[in-house]
Amino acid sequence: MIRSVVRGFGAALPKRVMTNKEMESKVDTSDEWIVQRTGIRQRYIAGEGETTASLGESAARAALARADLTADDLDLIIVATSTPDNTFPATAVNIQNRLGMRHGAAFDLQAVCSGFVYAVATADAYIRGGLAKRALVIGAETFSRILDWSDRTTCVLFGDGAGAIILEAREGSGMNADRGVLTAQLRSDGIHGDKLYVDGGPSTTGTVGHLRMEGREVFKHAVGMITDVIEAAFEATGTTADDVDWLVPHQANRRIIDGSAKKLGIPLDKVVVTVDIHGNTSAASIPLALDTAAADGRIKKGDLVMLEAMGGGFTWGSVLIRW
Ligand code: UT7
């Protein structure tokens, strides 16, 4: 059986850091409120010349270097983003061009904060279905560009960045001991569309719009949805919380991360947390966290790694990978 095995990883952040203290000068908020309610201490904000495509390109180059590959070795690029450089062409095609890749296929995938989980699941399906041999999966965002900087209930939460992994087709035994993606569980329910959305778009207002969120409503659903898809991944593979070496959650709110881990019985020292330094970077948050924990040696080859996310749509999902 073919498995999609992680061959490389990389990340990129804008140059500029914005601390909570600096946020206090923009809206009526405090470092204390932001830390207590979210765990966020700072975020990175894209400056002039830094875009979703440029950050995605940098993350891709880092992943290619780590994998000892060039763009010629890839045949698929998927970019998970809700903040593309342009409505079209896709940011993935833009990055394909920046990397000098003249073959294969590239497309964007939009599932907001669950985008990276959806993109890994999609790349895995392409690889297992024989449509691709080596896929570059990127989560890249510049949410700072769609924030309402006068709305303290949202602007303090989000940040910019990009992360990437390279998945490669390898023969596996079909057992859980195989390296690679072991299962992916995806869900969505559009009935929640009005709880986290952007109030504009090409076909409605002809504008980009700004992010709007009923935070408390999203929060109410988050832990239940996250734990459901993680339990579905356990069931699909016959694994349990005890088998998980690392939980790498979407980084929206420290309270959601801790609540989910507690409900699942995963100890906090097995949870990768970067929300304090990155804020919520939507589709980029999981690959940024993966890069952090794999680069510092926490996540090692052979470790069982659970990814999970929940966000606008609502969309939610989990991916279980043997690293
Ligand atoms: O990534 C996609 C998924 N997104 C999420 O997972 C986000 C989910 N939601 C959350 O993380 C939380 O709901 C928030 C962090 C957004 C808000 O935390 P909360 O504990 O749900 O606070 P709240 O919305 O109930 O607001 C509590 C109070 C309110 O004041 P009153 O009505 O009690 O007087 C808000 O006006 O905090 C006030 N408030 C703020 N105060 C200082 C809201 N934003 C701020 C702020 N600074 N930035």
Q: Read off the CATH number of the domain in which 270 is found.
A: 3.40.47.10
For atom 41 of ligand 1, the residue with the nearest CA is 29
Domain region containing 64: 2-171
pLDDT at 298: 98
Q: Which residue type occupies 289?
A: A
Same domain, 281 and 164: no
Same domain, 55 and 194: no
pLDDT at 38: 98
Same domain, 293 and 268: yes
Same domain, 164 and 232: no
Give residue-wise pLDDT tens across range 115-171: 999 999 999 999 999 999 999 999 999 999 999 999 999 999 999 999 999 999 999
Task: Say if ligand 1 is within 6 A of residue 35 CB.
Answer: no
Share of the chain above pLDDT 70, in %: 100
Final residue in a domain of this structure, among 140, 171, 202: 171
Final residue in a domain of this structure, among 171, 205, 231: 171
Task: Say if ligand 1 is within 6 A of residue 139 CB.
Answer: no
Q: Provide the mean pLDDT of the chain.
A: 98
Give residue-wise pLDDT tens across range 238-255: 999 999 999 999 999 999
Same domain, 213 and 167: no
Same domain, 151 and 199: no
Q: Which of the four pLDDT bands, split at 50, 70 and 90, describes residue 108?
A: very high
Task: Say if ligand 1 is within 6 A of residue 154 CB.
Answer: no
Distance from Cα 46 to the centre of ligand 1, integer Å: 24
Task: Say if ligand 1 is within 6 A of residue 256 CB.
Answer: yes
Distance from Cα 221 to the centre of ligand 1, integer Å: 14
Same domain, 233 and 148: no
Same domain, 46 and 162: yes
Q: Which of the four pLDDT bands, split at 50, 70 and 90, describes residue 256?
A: very high
Final residue in a domain of this structure, among 150, 171, 192: 171
Distances from the Cα of 221 to the Cαs of 8, 189, 224, 226, in angstroms?
A: 33, 12, 6, 9
Separation of alpha carbons 50 and 43, rounded Å: 15
pLDDT at 100: 98
Task: Say if ligand 1 is within 6 A of residue 89 CB.
Answer: no
Q: How many helices (H) and strands (E) does the chain have?
A: 10, 13
Given its phi and psi angles, is residue 17 left (phi above 0), alpha (psi -120 to 50 degrees) or beta? beta
Dihedral sign from CA coordinates of 284, 289, 290, 295: positive
In total, how many domains does the chain have? 2
Same domain, 163 and 196: no
Q: Which of the four pLDDT bands, split at 50, 70 and 90, describes residue 237?
A: very high
Q: Which among 18, 24, 216, 250 is the best mutation to test ligand 1's pocket, defined by most ligand atoms within 8 Å of the CB? A: 216
Q: Which residue type occupies 311?
A: G
pLDDT at 156: 98
Active site residues: 113, 250, 280
Give residue-wise pLDDT tens across range 158-212: 999 999 999 999 999 999 999 999 999 999 999 999 999 999 999 999 999 999 9
pLDDT at 152: 98
Q: For 173-226, give the DSSP string.
A: -SSTTSSEEEEEEEEE-GGGTTTEEES--TTTTSS---EEE-HHHHHHHHHHHH
Distance from Cα 214 to the centre of ligand 1, integer Å: 9
Same domain, 205 and 162: no
Task: Say if ligand 1 is within 6 A of residue 221 CB.
Answer: no
Task: Say if ligand 1 is within 6 A of residue 209 CB.
Answer: no
pLDDT at 27: 98
Same domain, 92 and 142: yes
Separation of alpha carbons 136 and 80, rounded Å: 11
Distance from Cα 119 to the centre of ligand 1, integer Å: 29
For atom 21 of ligand 1, the residue with the nearest CA is 216
Task: Choose among 52, 66, 98: nearest CA to 284.
Answer: 52
**In angstroms, what is the C-alpha Rg of the chain?**
18
Same domain, 7 and 140: yes
The answer to whether the CB of 58 falls within 8 A of the CB of 117 is no
Distance from Cα 31 to the centre of ligand 1, integer Å: 13
